[in-house]
Chain A
Amino acid sequence: MSGRRTTAPARRRAGSGLAGTALRWSVFLVVVGFWQLVTTTLTPADYAPYFPPPSTIARTLYETWFSGPVSHGFLTGTAIHDLLPSLGRLLGGWALAAAVGIPAGVALGRSRHAIEYVRPLVHFARSIPATTLIPVFVVLFRFSTTMRVSVIVFGVVWPILLNAIEGARQVEPAQLDIARVFKLGRQTRLWLVVVPAAAPRIFAGLRISLSLSIILMVTSELVGATDGIGFFLSNAKKGFELPEMWSAIVLLGIVGYVLNTALLAVERRVLGWQYDAEEYR
């Protein structure tokens, strides 16, 4: 398999990838420099406190979140108090939604009629902004972690479910027939044929729902929270601490970027066979 990786087009792509990364980061630096210039010279004095320059934001970001002792992985007390619970709820809610949505979606997608019974309900539930259910979940679970995780799960389970359904429906019938000819049992067919065929769509659903989880995580923490990034944000607003607020916003961007990159890496690893197959087609 390693022979495949070093084919000429693959090498060329790797090279352009490296150059691309360099180009992207240089562009990123140029934009940040421009931002610095605008906020230090062009912003009217009335608005200056609201838009601190990126250098200030970067310093605040470091001091507030990442200047802790080595023993704590450089995390500060604030980061341990606010960032970790947020990440826990975010990943917990997302994983829970995946654990419910993927099996249910694959099962529904393989059944001919079951999906028709639930489709209108699913589409309706999907079109309810999960944030409007925050009051409902507050009534049910008070201001607790359960409430926040429920909001995330309810909000992100639908894209996962719908994509898993679509993925399971797109299984090549011929492949299933072949599996039957070889007398593979139901279980084996599921794991060897249906799940791999549905995997790309399942990952697409997981990616959409990951960015949605971040939104819901923050929103649910903006109301009645005692910890979390959202709590930090609303606290910073009360104290009129603009640089801190900006640092939390940038931190959210970093969290989203890192999580998305990690998921893409996993996807590439798990679905590598598929890209290879496409190359050889």
Chain B
Amino acid sequence: MTHPPARKPVVVRLSRKARRTAGPLLRGFAGVEVFLLAGGVGGRVGLVDPSYLPPTSTVLAHAGRLLTDGGFLRDIAFTLGGWSAGLLVATAIAVPAGVLFGSLPVVDSAARVLVEFLRPIPAVALVPLALLVVADQGEMERLLAAYAATWPILVNTIYGAGAVDPLARDMARCFGLGRAAILLRVWLPSVAPFVATGVRLASSVALIVTISTELISGGGGDGLGQFVFDASGDPDGAAEVFAAVLVIGTLGLLLDAGLRYGERTAFRWHFERLGEPG
């Protein structure tokens, strides 16, 4: 008595990993679709005034046109220039300072006071002052972006320097490693992931400050903030403003995703140790 061999059902089998990512991806896509549709329908049926909230299709068309527009691309480049310069300067200042503060307890508690008092001062509150002292808009926004970006990097670096394993440090000393070697072999690998996290957080802060500075520093300059400022002065500029906001949001998302990816790839071991998904 033999059973006929059970016929295998023919289905497209996704790998386990693909299935795990496909579901959320599709659902996320559906969410975006519904949102876009709602934006489109709301404008068309007169639920909202299209001159205030233009329908999705108009905004998307505008965004597409902007991305091929030379002037707008120059604005993007200008803003990214301010963002990257500010971030670089902040990293160059905050990382050595953070390692110094974090490695010396006395300096650490001293620095903490300063950080606690300076950090709550929003960089944008310095715009009126900076407008008087620094004439050039580009220089001003680099300065303010650097100021704002310093804090997240500093705080994370201090935290990372405090988390250096004292056992590893002592062991390196036992093996007769010199100061430079200990710094390179023990401190660097231990602090670097924290620095990377700080830089990622600082990146979004720097972008916000750069664009905000451009937005509130008055007309006649460059950058995405200036573009939004000019477009908002135009009575028919609502679609333009929304398109620019769409581009800015995408830009922020891409920068964040890029830095996050870099962080995960460069410090895989660190995240594995923490037990977080890599």
Contact = CB atoms under 8 A, between A and B. Distances in A.
Given A127-B204, A245-B129, A139 B238 contact: yes
Tell which of A128, A234, A257 has the most Cβ of chain B within 10 Å: A128
Contacts of B129: 50, 237, 242, 245-246, 249
Given A20-B109, A121-B35, A219-B212, A132 B244 contact: yes
Contacts of B133: 47, 50
B28 interface: yes
A248 B109 contact: no
A82 to B, nearest CB: 13
Nearest to B215: A131
Interface in B210-262: 211-212, 215-216, 224-225, 228-229, 231-232, 238, 241-242, 244-245, 248-250, 252-253, 256
A248 B127 CA distance: 12
Nearest to A119: B28
Interface string B114-129: 1011111111111111
A158 B230 CA distance: 27
Interface residues of A, number: 59
Contact of B245 (A24, A113, A132, A257): A132
A204 interface: no
Contact of A253 (B117, B128, B231): B117
Contacts of B118: 253
A31 B252 contact: no
A182 to B, nearest CB: 30
Interface of B (DSSP majority class): helix
Interface in A105-133: 113, 116-121, 123-125, 127-133
A23 B270 CA distance: 34
A171 interface: no
A199 B122 CA distance: 27
A222 B117 CA distance: 22
Given A28-B117, A214-B122, A233-B128, A23 B27 contact: no
Interface string B187-216: 000000000000000001001100110011
B125 A252 contact: yes
Contacts of B23: 113, 116
Contact of B120 (A125, A128, A134, A253): A253
B65 interface: no
Given A140-B52, A234-B128, A116 B252 contact: no
Contacts of B131: 237
A253 B52 contact: no
Interface string B2-46: 000000000000000000000110011111101100000000000
Contacts of A133: 245
A130 B131 CA distance: 22
B226 to A, nearest CB: 11
A117 B28 contact: yes
25 contacts: A23-B110, A28-B113, A113-B23, A113-B27, A119-B28, A120-B31, A121-B28, A121-B35, A127-B204, A129-B248, A131-B124, A131-B208, A132-B244, A132-B245, A135-B231, A136-B245, A139-B238, A140-B53, A211-B120, A215-B208, A223-B216, A229-B125, A249-B129, A252-B122, A257-B117
Interface of B: 23-24, 27-32, 34-35, 52-53, 106, 109-110, 112-114, 116-129, 131-133, 204, 207-208, 211-212, 215-216, 224-225, 228-229, 231-232, 238, 241-242, 244-245, 248-250, 252-253, 256
Given A47-B133, A125-B249, 7 more contacts: A27-B114, A131-B212, A136-B238, A139-B241, A236-B128, A256-B119, A256-B121
